[in-house]
Amino acid sequence: MKNPEQTIGNLIDKQSVSFIGSMDQDCFPNMKAMLSPRKREGISTFWFTTNTSSMRVTQYLENPKACIYFCDEQLFRGV
């Protein structure tokens, strides 16, 4: 891979769905499908849109650990 950041960014930009994860109060993971990020800065900062009263916002305020997964279904690869 000549330029990993560009290759990963291209994969991310082509996906209409992303998966985000948060941790509940007992540290169990919660995954949710969401629309693609509203904005991204490189491949390390992503901005999503959600309701401020959502369960996800509450979980991130209590425990900021999170993950995001982007999957290209046709090529069966993800990041």
User: What CATH number does residue 47 fall under?
Assistant: 2.30.110.10
For the four alpha carbons of 28, 32, 38 and 41, in that order, the dihedral sign comes to positive
Helix (H, G, I), strand (E, B) or coil at 61: helix
pTM summary value = 0.86
Range of the domain at 29: 4-78
Per the structure, how many domains does the chain have?
A: 1
59 close to 47: Cβ distance less than 8 angstroms: no
- Identify each DSSP E strand in 3-78 by its residue range: 17-23, 29-35, 39-41, 45-47, 67-69, 71-72, 77-78
Q: Residue 22 has which token pair?
A: 């948060």
pLDDT (tens place) for every residue of the chain, 79 residues total = 789 999 999 999 999 999 999 999 999 999 999 999 999 999 999 999 988 898 999 999 999 999 999 999 999 999 9
